[in-house]
Structure 1
């Protein structure tokens, strides 16, 4: 009876000792790199003037939100009004000639039916009606072209977004194709620039973590790599990351992010096996004779699997919970 009780107590003590110890193992963890990313728009569109002239009305400024099709500015070409007036006068002249030609044709047909007008003169009158009709149609088309050109003085927003730059002012002289405003679309992303040695280790879909100091509003704490550009610029590979909630950030704002670029071997232990006194971290190491001693370790990053130990421990060491 006494022997069984002693055996039960020994087993319980051994079980307690096993539960309060931890065998150090080497494991592979992702190697994260901290970089600064800039908030960029997926598309940056330029609104350009379709005709040359003077900017009569400028209706936007930097920071304004616009919708696709909104009028940003009106370009006025003073030469178009006289040209339209001349086209109208020419069209009116051809219209009068056409009316007279139709009257002459009716007379010729009436006289031809009476037998006192030759067929050749009748054919000539019909041809004259066709010629003047064509001239009238051409004059009207020329006028329509000038009217449409005057309407193209309206500079329209090519897409919805926010105005980043307006390099012109009211009264400025502008040529066809010149930029009136630069618009950033409503879709934002983070643009990362990593050293070229990491070009082979990052790919689309890799997760990124946003620095907690940069979080604000509805910004998500994590994102993913959307695109890796196949060109290295100034020794850096460029990648875009999609993160929800970047709409309230400024374009060009810098944000600290962490991206996984490789994997490495590390020693991880549970955080409750570390005790800190006066800024120094200690763990209790079990010796081969069954006793334990306190040693100093250097703490590294904290991960979901435990705390990384940079120095002081090796794989196979047995730790005792303090």
Structure 2
């Protein structure tokens, strides 16, 4: 190997060494890292991590239901002649909601009226005949048997009259079934028939409920049933409303559902504005106390799906991964439960 070739290899090797040193910042002036660390570690605004017993609440789902509601059904077979209301209409007790065709029913009423008039005439004749025969028999002109026959004819005519009167009452009652009246004041929640439809006995025509009787019905676990008493005021949350409500417990069913092992409770909200039957809601029920470690929500930083808190430890800030629990308010401040990552008494930085 020639001297020239050896010098070339040595120069290349030296060049590689210089490149590595440059990449490693060997030619850059060193900074005073100790001074920078001291300046960065001046104590910021911190708050203490608190551990205290907090009353627990469990939320149970339910729905708004009316205590006074009715499904109005047909009691006769007839064609729908007229529907006077629609869903959402406000009605008063006794208002006409719907009419069915009643020509045949009215005809039957007239027939029964004629039958009753004929029965009345026969009764009058039988009574007069009985009186005449009774007078003659008392004089000994006719035998007692004729009086018995007259009495039987009178009693039969009276029985026919009573039967005709009851038949007329039945016909009029059937005719009244053709006019559907509101049983109480409320709101029409559903209209199931239209003009020209055929109504049959038991067929649902309209549904009606009273807005003043709306309540929240919810199924609560038997584990918290002992924490609920009649008259208690519990918090109610409705997805359709932004405001929170209080509901008074007015009824607790004393039997559990065999499938869910839950008991149904009913609460009357302190305001019925904006409530409609069937709305979804949740009721918060006291569930005892437990020790909770919590900090202000402003002490939490989030990076991606991870949550961190900066802990003041040994005169420096230490970023620590935390696992959060429920969020709540305490004295108007948003706070968050820390399930792991912090200990009571430690200090965390507040982000303003």
Partner residue, 1:294: 317
Shift of residue 60 of structure 1?
1.9
Relative to structure 1, the CA distance from residue 275 to residue 146 in structure 2 (aligned partners, 3 Å threshold; closer, same or farther) is closer
Partner residue, 1:314: 343
Q: Helix, strand or coil: the match of 1:169?
A: coil
Q: Retained in 2: the 8 A contact 1:220–1:243?
A: no
Q: Structure 2 residue aligned with 1:207, among 215, 229, 234?
A: 234
Q: Helix, strand or coil: the match of 2:154?
A: helix
Partner residue, 1:84: 109
* CA displacement 1:138-181 (0-9 Å, x = unmatched): 22222222122212333233343322112112232222222221
Q: Retained in 2: the 8 A contact 1:45–1:185?
A: no
Aligned pairs (5 A) from 1:175-190? 175-186=200-211, 187-190=213-216
CA distance in 1, matches of 2:130, 2:235: 83
Relative to structure 1, the CA distance from residue 23 to residue 153 in structure 2 (aligned partners, 3 Å threshold; closer, same or farther) is same
TM-score, with structure 2 as normaliser: 0.63
Partner residue, 1:267: 293
CA distance in 2, matches of 1:232, 1:278: 44
Partner residue, 1:149: 174
Shift of residue 215 of structure 1?
3.6
Structure 2: state its 5+ residue gaps: 1-44
CA distance in 2, matches of 1:126, 1:239: 66
Aligned pairs (5 A) from 1:137-286? 137-186=162-211, 187-192=213-218, 200-201=223-224, 204=228, 205=232, 207-210=234-237, 214-215=240-241, 220-223=244-247, 227=252, 230-231=256-257, 240-255=266-281, 263-269=289-295, 285=312
Q: Helix, strand or coil: the match of 1:87?
A: helix
CA distance in 2, matches of 1:109, 1:224: 75
* CA displacement 1:72-92 (0-9 Å, x = unmatched): 223344432333233233223
Relative to structure 1, the CA distance from residue 92 to residue 201 in structure 2 (aligned partners, 3 Å threshold; closer, same or farther) is closer
Relative to structure 1, the CA distance from residue 45 to residue 261 in structure 2 (aligned partners, 3 Å threshold; closer, same or farther) is farther
* CA displacement 1:34-76 (0-9 Å, x = unmatched): 6765433345421222333222332221112233443322334
CA distance in 2, matches of 1:275, 1:319: 7
Partner residue, 1:133: 158
Q: Helix, strand or coil: the match of 1:158?
A: coil
Shift of residue 32 of structure 1?
4.8
Deviates more, 1:308-317 or 1:167-176: 308-317
Structure 1: state its 5+ residue gaps: 1-19
TM-score, with structure 1 as normaliser: 0.68
Partner residue, 2:15: none
Aligned pairs (5 A) from 1:64-83? 64-83=89-108
Q: Retained in 1: the 8 A contact 2:234–2:283?
A: no
1:303 and 2:329 correspond: yes
